[in-house]
Chains A and B, each alone.
Chain A
């Protein structure tokens, strides 16, 4: 089915108007040698009933295991109203709001989103979103190069406590424009990036420092000390944050003790009403200070008036974007993640400051419960001391992969195996709990873990 409405009578009338005898004739400008003979590699079409069955079978095959993985994608309760409204045709099938008069719904929504996210991160302005948190780090690095006039080196310090997924994407995306991303070591006891480690860069030309809070291990960095250090040396601070955590934690706009705060803030907005969905679509957020707004990539919505003096919303500062500036654009970005921003804005409106705070608190409480329960199992201990937020690293006395397989067979996704990305940690597992987990779920995990470890002993 191709959703084509034409009847044979329609086709006949249309061909007559055009003055051709067949649809084939309309392709007569195309060399015959290029014409496709058949698409045998594509299966025959299915109707809705058939595709519905196929998808249900596939979904059933994957099932719904209990998930204790975080690492940049977090399972939170999403109120039904969020996607009921987001999938309304008027939002779902609307185009980019270039014709402002025909898009006031989307434009006003984005303006409200910009307001909420700017406030949540403690900054002045926001854009209309970027692809995801990882590419937002790349874009922030490019923006820091443009905005940090005092620096020419294109060197960006990116601690090893920043998500390795984000680091990979930053290198793949911004490396082609001459940016150099340099690792910074972490302390093996605290799992944090100590300021001492940065001292060796003093006196060198560094463009930006990336600080993730909570960091990839879930540990809480000393953001004030790191921010102060960076600013004292003319280095831009790029903050990478989890938006749910910002309901409890100090926003990057307030980092540091000099009143300056982070320069650019990015992160992934997935925790705000966007389902896990195998990794996407999510959205990246970016906020900054007013003085840098013209260096910010992506779309931005502004409020203005129309010719009757009525308030309205429109895309603004477009002269910086690809469709006008072309080769000199701030980025080649054409899209924002409109549908996801819609969901996040509705989610933030439903939760409000209190709901978001309680979600953050409940997630943290469950993570604490999980850690306590796991570390009560013989052979399991925490990797790091010090405060964390809703994720933490635990260490085992044996390889993690077989344990995870065993848990998965019991319907539990135990966490993320860190042995590839961080071999120096040993048999390490990154675990996460959110408000969606109950104490009974945690019990199930611990029970299954006990069985998994026992069966390994028996097998040995």
Chain B
């Protein structure tokens, strides 16, 4: 990554010249007669305004833009709750074989047995590692998977005539998508507190469940980075009241190969394949939010799902096979290319590799936590083990030195580290949620801890340096207020 490119990269439109383009890539020009049958009143009167630049100019522009990004391939990226592990190149290479890339979604099953085999085996492997009895692959992101999960819970209760059950319980530390999803499904959200140890308060939970409870949305380990030790008791309480348990799989990396959500009592889970199963984050997507269910929710799974018939041929299951399905969430079958990458990753890991993921992710997190504590930082839950992530709170620094978590995050950029997650979970003030993942070496973890220690020292001796960071990035502290007030959301010609 180049810091402070002297020539700030212009917006591509500013390189345009009329008539320029990647002309070799264009189809041949056709006479007007080729489109004469398109009625005049339905046609464009003016050409669209897209860039007019040569192929080399395009390549150069976007390559230079890529230099302005931090990425896993270039930087340590300990974003809590995001699982920024190495994206193996093999996953990309083999998912992009021409036959797989060129296959039409509506092509016949006879010409898709290879692809369908991968999807079927992925379903089976995901069932095994999560301890669930049914899996659907079509939700296109974690939040989408959550939607499917809550929709299935609702469908289940309604199918039993239990129409009053529309309350979803959510711990106050939960990720914002959880309550948003509950609302999207026509449910009402009920928040319950967690105690200072980071566990759910069981008494409050018992008071909160009842005949209106559709279910509870949890993640384990929780968003606070700690394992909910009495999860079996939580499950008992909710099930006894007639509710179901939903597992937010954002933190699955902590327990992969060690504990299975199905064994903990969860009825429905979503998995973030772009976290735990290393599909690319891509600057914001595409993700894949596969869902897993216990046997009683299987009839409600979103379609399509891959099935195997007696002749050992793979086929798509449809509404005829699952008449109670919550429906289709994708025009076709979800993010197939992402699913292929997850499949390849899981095949490379194999059963031994799965266990290693949980082990080394947890080792790395606990190591960092120990070293940061020794360096004088405050853990939010000092008596607890870290799972695959943990929280450091900088509220003391904020109070005594007027240096905030945001300031530390910005200064870390100068040290060549992407900052950890800041200000989430909302419960812990001035927090950094740190998740190293299993693919990072001890050296980089040490370097990060050393950088934090240096920044702490700077905060004590020269706080201005930290509060006005970053100093070496192409831009510094962008004006968010101005961005929201003076909306500039697209390029317009100045002429």
* Minimum CB–CB distance for A69 against chain B, Å: 5
Cα A25 to Cα B354 in complex, Å, equals 18
Contact status B259-A30, CB under 8 Å: yes
Task: Choose among A33, A281, A359 the residue that contacts B26 (Cβ–Cβ < 8 A).
Answer: A359
Determine if A147 is an interface residue (Cβ-Cβ < 8 Å).
Answer: no
Contact status B286-A340, CB under 8 Å: yes
Task: Choose among A23, A34, A42, A168 the residue that contacts B362 (Cβ–Cβ < 8 A).
Answer: A23
Q: Within 8 Å CB of B480, what residues of A?
A: 304, 314, 316
Contact status A303-B483, CB under 8 Å: yes
**In the complex, which residue of chain A has the Cβ closest to the Cβ of B113?**
A61
Task: Choose among B73, B259, B352, B487 the residue that contacts A45 (Cβ–Cβ < 8 A).
Answer: B352
Q: Within 8 Å CB of B71, what residues of A?
A: 89-95
Contact status A14-B440, CB under 8 Å: no
Determine if B202 is an interface residue (Cβ-Cβ < 8 Å).
Answer: no
Determine if B359 is an interface residue (Cβ-Cβ < 8 Å).
Answer: yes
Known A-B contacts A45-B347, A165-B331; A112 and B363 likewise in contact (beta carbons under 8 Å): no
Contact status B181-A56, CB under 8 Å: no
Cα A57 to Cα B118 in complex, Å, equals 11
Task: Choose among B50, B118, B128 the residue that contacts A348 (Cβ–Cβ < 8 A).
Answer: B50
Contact status B48-A250, CB under 8 Å: no
Contact status B328-A6, CB under 8 Å: no
Binds A, one of B51-59, B290-298, B396-404, B453-461: B51-59
Cα A450 to Cα B183 in complex, Å, equals 55
Q: Mark B209-241, 1 if CB is under 8 A from A, else 0.
A: 000000000000000001101011000000000
Cα A380 to Cα B339 in complex, Å, equals 39
Q: Within 8 Å CB of A348, what residues of B?
A: 50-51
Task: Tell me the chain B residues, 61-110 only, with Cβ under 8 Å from chain A.
Answer: 61-63, 65-75, 77, 79, 82, 84-88, 90, 92-108, 110
Contact status B100-A314, CB under 8 Å: no
Contact status B330-A131, CB under 8 Å: yes
Determine if A97 is an interface residue (Cβ-Cβ < 8 Å).
Answer: yes
Q: Within 8 Å CB of B332, what residues of A?
A: 72-73, 165, 278-280
Contact status A3-B22, CB under 8 Å: no
Determine if A58 is an interface residue (Cβ-Cβ < 8 Å).
Answer: yes
Binds B, one of A115-123, A204-212, A230-238: A115-123
Determine if B451 is an interface residue (Cβ-Cβ < 8 Å).
Answer: no
A interface residues, tally (CB under 8 Å): 202
Determine if A423 is an interface residue (Cβ-Cβ < 8 Å).
Answer: no
* Minimum CB–CB distance for B38 against chain A, Å: 6
Cα A279 to Cα B113 in complex, Å, equals 15
Contact status A176-B186, CB under 8 Å: yes
Contact status B25-A47, CB under 8 Å: no
Task: Choose among A132, A303, A340, A352 the residue that contacts B52 (Cβ–Cβ < 8 A).
Answer: A352
Determine if A29 is an interface residue (Cβ-Cβ < 8 Å).
Answer: yes
Binds B, one of A182-190, A258-266, A326-334, A452-460: A326-334
Known A-B contacts A40-B351, A280-B335, A307-B477; A172 and B302 likewise in contact (beta carbons under 8 Å): yes
* Minimum CB–CB distance for A145 against chain B, Å: 13
**In the complex, which residue of chain B has the Cβ closest to the Cβ of A359?**
B27
Cα A35 to Cα B189 in complex, Å, equals 32
Q: Within 8 Å CB of B189, what residues of A?
A: 327
Contact status B227-A299, CB under 8 Å: no
Cα A169 to Cα B125 in complex, Å, equals 27
Cα A97 to Cα B490 in complex, Å, equals 17
* Minimum CB–CB distance for A66 against chain B, Å: 11
Contact status A108-B11, CB under 8 Å: yes
Q: Within 8 Å CB of B77, what residues of A?
A: 95
Q: Which 8 A-B pairs have the closest CB atoms?
A: A45-B350, A89-B73, A279-B332, A172-B327, A279-B105, A339-B282, A58-B114, A338-B284
* Minimum CB–CB distance for A194 against chain B, Å: 16
